Amino acid sequence: MEGGYTLVTAAQPLADNGLSPVGLSPVQLGPKEGLALVYGTVISAGAAALAMHEAHHLAVLHGGNFQARSLTSATEKTRSAIQTIGRMLFTQCTEIINPATSQGLPPNLVSEEPSSSFAMKAVDLMVAALQFGLGFLANRVDSHVQTAEMGNQALSSLALISARYTHTAVDVLSQLAAAQLLALCQALDLRLMMWRFLGEVSPGFMEETMALLKAMGVMDVMCQDQHLSDLWILFLARLEETVRMDAQPRFNSIAKSLIPYLIDLAHFPLPSAFDSPRQSLSSELFLEHIVSYNESLAAHCLNAHHLTRETYFSHHDATPFLGSASKRMYGYIRYTLKRKRKRASQGGEGRARRWVIT
């Protein structure tokens, strides 16, 4: 947002330039969204504002037969623009809820186990229903014009009907925007929780991996750093790929996915430029090291995950990572409206989960 800052690869550029590194630009609404009402004339924009905010004055215009036709056209253009804006909000909301497009966020933006928690499933259905409604309200009114007063009014404007539907469309768009803002706050909290998890798990990952590399005979510092970097990249990639899984099987799967790299490493000769010879390991001892590393890494990740989640449940706040404008919106939703993070609480044996606000 204008005037704020964003975090891009450890840098902090202005928010206006935050999308440039990935080839994107901020969304700006213009005439292509239908906001250029009736050739962009000032009178059309004024008529649209009159229709939306002072609809009771339209009775005067309606008495002039079809002179209010420009008002009908203006409000219909407004509804078309509202439907387009709603489509953008709907698409953005569904993309952050869907793990296939959210770049590492869990399905339905759950903060617990995906198999038993469905945090934003209702929001996903809600924004779809609201967008359906906007699509219906965007239909034209002037195609339903009929003669009136025994033919005296050969062409009526139907401006009152168009203004009423436009007012309804504004209400629906407001609900859609509110739902998307709630989902965005949940996504921000989950993203920050993931960053804190990586900070918690990284030292233990490096320590255990370094111990394994030394046990495998990799003594050169440059080789150790290279293998640590490669394994960490593999770990991060698998962390994003397994976002649909529950915590325990997820981290077991991630730890196992590193084994092929370690097996290749065991049979990869050192470059001749390095003088440090590699100590040979028997296959039995190598398997013992691999199994031990696999179990300890999975347990370490699981403990870090639970610790980070419970800590963030108690003290969650994403405002230090937001720009000035985004920070105000986040604070308004989280603290003024008291719409805190959602988490599921198990009601008992055999009972469905219930939602509580934390």
**pLDDT > 70 in the chain, percent:** 66
Q: What gap in Å lies between CA 15 and CA 341, rounded to an integer?
A: 25
Helical (H) or strand (E) element with 352:
none
Res. 85 pLDDT band, cuts 50 70 90:
very high
Of residues 57, 78, 50, the one with CA closest to residue 140: 78
263 vs 43: which has the higher pLDDT: 263
Of residues 206, 227, 138, 132, the one with CA closest to residue 175: 132
For residue 170, give both structure tokens: 């504004």
Task: Tell me the mean pLDDT in the region 28-43.
Answer: 53
* Res 206: pLDDT: 93
Of residues 342, 316, 312, 310, the one with CA closest to residue 331: 316
Of residues 185, 187, 188, 207, the one with CA closest to residue 304: 207
87 pLDDT above the threshold of 70: yes
Q: How far is CA 288 from the centre of its chain?
A: 42
37 pLDDT above the threshold of 50: no
Q: What gap in Å lies between CA 72 and CA 142, rounded to an integer?
A: 7
Lowest mean pLDDT among 108-122, 149-163, 190-204: 149-163
108 vs 13: which has the higher pLDDT: 108
Determine the straight-line distance between the first and last CA of the chain, rounded to whole angstroms: 28
Helix axes 259-266, 247-257, angle to 10 degrees: 20
- Beta carbons of 271 and 325 less than 8 angstroms apart: no
* Res 350: pLDDT: 37
* Res 272: pLDDT: 47
Q: How many CA atoms lie within 13 A of 314 on its CB side?
A: 5
For residue 135, the SS3 value is helix
- Beta carbons of 68 and 157 less than 8 angstroms apart: yes
Residue 346 to residues 94, 113, 352: CA-CA distances in angstroms?
27, 12, 7
119 vs 15: which has the higher pLDDT: 119
Of residues 239, 226, 251, the one with CA closest to residue 302: 251
Res. 17 pLDDT band, cuts 50 70 90:
low
- Looking at this protein, which amino acid is placed at residue 121? K
Res. 25 pLDDT band, cuts 50 70 90:
low
- Beta carbons of 4 and 322 less than 8 angstroms apart: yes
* Res 159: pLDDT: 78
* Res 353: pLDDT: 43
Beta strands in the chain (DSSP E): 342-346, 353-357
Q: What are the residues whose beta carbons fall under 8 Å from the beta carbon of 61, sequence distance 6 or more?
A: 67, 68, 71, 157, 159
Helix axes 221-241, 247-257, angle to 10 degrees: 140
Q: How many CA atoms lie within 13 A of 205 on its CB side?
A: 25
* Res 238: pLDDT: 94
200 vs 60: which has the higher pLDDT: 200
75 pLDDT above the threshold of 80: yes
The winner for highest mean pLDDT among 32-36, 69-73, 311-315 is 311-315
The winner for highest mean pLDDT among 39-48, 68-77, 260-269 is 68-77
* Res 178: pLDDT: 93
Q: What gap in Å lies between CA 330 and CA 334, rounded to an integer?
A: 6
Of residues 139, 110, 108, 112, the one with CA closest to residue 125: 108
Task: Tell me the mean pLDDT in the region 256-263.
Answer: 89
Query: Based on C-alpha coordinates, what's the Rg of the chain?
Result: 29
- 9: left (phi > 0), else alpha (psi -120 to 50), else beta? left
* Res 147: pLDDT: 65
323 pLDDT above the threshold of 90: no
* Res 161: pLDDT: 85
264 vs 138: which has the higher pLDDT: 138
153 pLDDT above the threshold of 90: no
* Res 277: pLDDT: 45
Q: How far is CA 218 from the centre of its chain?
A: 41
Lowest mean pLDDT among 8-17, 165-174, 272-281, 323-332: 272-281
The winner for highest mean pLDDT among 42-56, 104-118, 142-156 is 104-118
- Beta carbons of 114 and 244 less than 8 angstroms apart: yes
Q: What gap in Å lies between CA 309 and CA 291, rounded to an integer?
A: 27
Lowest mean pLDDT among 59-68, 254-263, 315-324: 59-68
244 pLDDT above the threshold of 80: yes
256 vs 350: which has the higher pLDDT: 256
* Res 1: pLDDT: 40
Please count the residues of the chain: 358
